[in-house]
Amino acid sequence: MALEEKDVRYVAALAHLELGADEVKTFLPQLDSILEYIQKLNELDTTQVEPMAQVTYPSRENPALRSDQPRRTFGQDESLANAPEGAAGCFKVPQVIERE
Which of residues 61, 88, 89, 100 is near other proteins by CB under 8 A?
Answer: 61
When the beta carbons of 59 and 100 are compared against other proteins, the nearer one is: 59
What single string gives the DSSP state of each residue in 14-68? HTT----HHHHHHHHHHHHHHHHHHGGGGGS--TTPPP--S-----SS-TT----
Q: Is 34 in the site for other proteins (CB under 8 A)?
A: yes
Neighbouring CB atoms inside 10 A of 8's CB total: 21
Q: Is 84 in the site for other proteins (CB under 8 A)?
A: yes
d(CA 19, CA 94): 21
Give the residues lining the site for other proteins (CB under 8 A).
7-8, 11-12, 14-20, 23, 26-27, 30-31, 33-35, 37-44, 46, 49-55, 57, 59-61, 63-64, 66, 74, 78-79, 81-85, 91, 93-96
